[in-house]
Amino acid sequence: MLCGDQEVAAAIDQTFKNSLAETLTETEQAFQLSFVSMTEAIVVAIEIVSFLVIFIILSILMFSLLAGQNLWVSIVGRVALVPIIAALAYELLRFGARYRHHWWIRWLYLPGIWLQAITTKQPDDRMIEVAIASMREALAANGEEAPAGSLDPARRPIPTRVAEEPAGSATDQAS
């Protein structure tokens, strides 16, 4: 027997069955669990960023060897070197992961870490206040309340700038 949420989901799925807008609804708990399972995708994205940094550095070094060659040698050389550089970057990434406990390996991989640090900074207090206020508004839109003891930051109106009139304008001349 289905509970209330599952009955509604089954009715929605049945309504849109075999249509262009076919659905597969899920419970809130299933949605949250699928969201948690996306953390692996985040790890993969971080690894891709590290790979790309290594690939770009190797590309600059390897393609500089082709400087001064005629156009066809340069083009064919670049096309031929791309898979070699990609394979080398992959192996260097694996090597770095295997020997990351050595200080000199960590030093070599710092550019990738710096690039990751750009997108993964800790939020400051103002960012957290905005997130909390947004969550409160989203909960209110659903007719829910924030858990007891949650921080309720003071809301400040967004400042608006009024255009100042230049000296000697029509309002000054009228008075």
**What pLDDT does 83 receive?**
93
- Divide the 175 residues of the chain into consecutive groups of 10 and give the mean pLDDT of each group: 64 69 63 69 77 88 86 89 92 86 83 73 77 76 74 66 56 50
Rg of the chain taking only CA atoms, in angstroms: 28
Of all residues in the chain, what percent are helix, strand and coil, respectively (each to 5)?
A: 65, 0, 35
User: What is the per-residue pLDDT for 14?
Assistant: 73
Return the pLDDT at 59.
92
In terms of Cα–Cα distance, which of 169, 174, 135 is closest to 151? 135
- What is the spatial distance between Cα 57 and Cα 61, in angstroms, rounded to a whole number? 6
Domain ranges of the chain: 1-37, 39-146
Q: Mapping DSSP to helix (H, G, I), strand (E, B) and coil, where does residue 145 land?
A: coil
Look up residue 147 and give its two tokens: 């858990």
d(CA 56, CA 151): 45
Residue 6 tokens, joined: 């599952």
pTM: 0.47
Q: What is the pLDDT of residue 1?
A: 47
> Position 6: which residue type?
Q
Q: What whole-number distance in Å separates Cα of residue 47 and Cα of residue 41?
A: 10
Question: What per-residue confidence (pLDDT) applies to 25?
Answer: 64
Q: What is the per-residue pLDDT for 123? A: 77
DSSP the chain: ---HHHHHHHHHHHHTTTSTT------HHHHHHHHHTTHHHHHHHHHHHHHHHHHHHHHHHHHGGGTTS-HHHHHHHHHHHHHHHHHHHHHHHHHHHHTTTSHHHHHHTHHHHHHHHHH-PPP-HHHHHHHHHHHHHHHHHTT--PPTT---PPP-PPP-PPPPPPTT-HHHHH-
DSSP code of 146? P
- For residue 152, the one-letter residue type is D
